[in-house]
Amino acid sequence: MPATPPSLFPPIQPVRHGMLAVDELHTIYWEEVGNPNGIPVVFLHGGPGAGLSPQHRRFFDPQAYRVILFDQRGAGKSAPLGEWRNNTTQLLIEDIERLRAMFDIDRWLVFGGSWGSTLALAYGQAHPERCLGFVLRGIFLCTPAEVDWFLHGIEWFYPELYEEFIAPIPVAERQNLLQAYTRRLLSDDPAVYWPAARAWSRFEGRRVFLLPQDEEQPSDTLDLGVGRLESHYMANGAFLSEDQLVRNIGRISHLPAVIVQGRYDVICPPLSAHRLHAAWPGAKLRMVPDAGHGALELGIARALVGATDAFKRHGRFD
């Protein structure tokens, strides 16, 4: 992990937290942080399947914001871990709406990074009347080109990681790595899905930051959530129609937004942020020149905190 960016607010504990049953299969973990009378904001984590971290609470001034965070279906403390059935973008949007109603919030700021930016855009376009604005990081639109880059394009930058990633897959199956991994990851046999989950999670995790970081301790929760749910959502095009998030940008283009993007992000390359901004010129684009994909990289963390500080003062992003 990188050193904690000095721009983050101090560590904070939830005001309250709990579990919410959203259907007969899934129960999601939620927490509320900050000022109960503050500006409402919902935090959407990445992955899908990556879950929450205590650091995620620290992008917001706790005196100014009422922050609602939750582990999406199959992620983190939500149960069952790694469950891909009854798990679609549309169902996640319904979960967000359940939480909004549960907390009696009329409109809120929507904050999401990586897959969280995908979900934030999809949620906003489904419920623009419930959004105050958007803070988006590391844009991922889940187009076929982005999925292909995630799986194959990265070989140009990290050939050694790519070799490790394809090594467990027989040569005859390598022409469709996504299919090969998804079949293993969604197996009911732990002897089949665990090695695939660990390989998938490491393949992504070791290229998050621009500069090398100390290796984190392996996390079964992260590995299973990320491996299963990322492959599931990628294999299904995030349950979106072709280029849906750009085509439907007019539904939210009247709302304030900031896009924070690492120039050297090799997980979600800058082209997606550029395409989104071209379709949404009213959004502010903050291209961080010395950063990759990680929310805790110094420049990205500074830009995210700067965005939430600007919004608390002016209700927009200058």
pLDDT, one tens digit per residue, over 163-199 is 999 999 999 999 999 999 999 999 999 999 999 999 9
Q: 240-263 pLDDT, tens per residue? A: 999 999 999 999 999 999 999 999
pLDDT band at 64 (very low <50, low <70, confident <90, very high): very high
Q: How far apart are CA 315 and CA 90, in angstroms?
A: 28
pLDDT at 2 over 70: no
CA angle 296, 301, 306 (to 5 degrees): 165
Residues 255 and 133: their CA atoms lie apart, in Å, by: 5
pLDDT for the residue 73 = 98
Q: What is the CATH number of domain 16-141+240-314?
A: 3.40.50.1820
- Residues involved in catalysis: 114, 265, 293
For 204, phi then psi, to 5°, come to -80, -50
Q: Domain boundaries in the chain?
A: 16-141+240-314, 144-238
Mean per-residue pLDDT over the chain, rounded:
95
pLDDT of residue 4: 77
Question: Which residue is it, tokens 């950063």?
Answer: 291
Count Cβ atoms below 10 Å from residue 86 Cβ, excluding itself: 13
Between 6-10, 119-123, 214-218, the lowest mean confidence (pLDDT) is in: 214-218
Residue 3 pLDDT > 80: no
Q: What pLDDT does 215 receive?
A: 66
Residue type, 48: P
Residue 114, SS3 per DSSP:
coil
Residue 237 zone, left/alpha/beta (φ > 0; ψ -120 to 50; rest):
left
- Kind and range of the H or E run holding 261: strand 257-262
Contacts of 125 (CB under 8 A, 6+ apart): 244, 245, 248, 249, 251, 252
Give per-residue pLDDT as tens, 123-140: 999 999 999 999 999 999
Whether the Cβ atoms of residue 116 and residue 295 lie closer than 8 Å to each other: no
pTM of the model: 0.97
